Amino acid sequence: MAQLTPEELQSVKDLQSSYNQAIFEIGAAEAQLIAIQDQMLKLVEEKKNLVSDLKTIERKESELTASLQEKYGTGSINIETGEITPIQ
């Protein structure tokens, strides 16, 4: 029965080892991609929530502005002192 030389056997083992390592690394890369996709979905959802919060803040700002204009007239507010300077 024929038998591989030690060098040939080592070459076969090295190729098998390289193949197995490549398969392992493909699996690891896929796992990283899945984790990144999950993070992206979470970030997209967080962004939606932040945009919704921003719209709520803008609505409240508009309501407050209308209320203050009704009470004090049109003007600018010094945010430090609360002083209102009427616009003429």
| 50 in any annotated domain | yes
| 59 in any annotated domain | yes
| 75 in any annotated domain | no
Instruction: Give alpha helix (H) positions in the chain.
Output: 6-72
| 79 in any annotated domain | no
| Residue 46 main-chain phi, psi, to 5 deg | -65, -40
Question: Domain residues for 25?
Answer: 7-70
SS3 at position 88: coil
Domain count, the chain: 1
pLDDT profile of the chain (88 residues), mean per 10: 96 98 98 98 98 98 95 92 89
Q: What is the pTM of this model?
A: 0.65
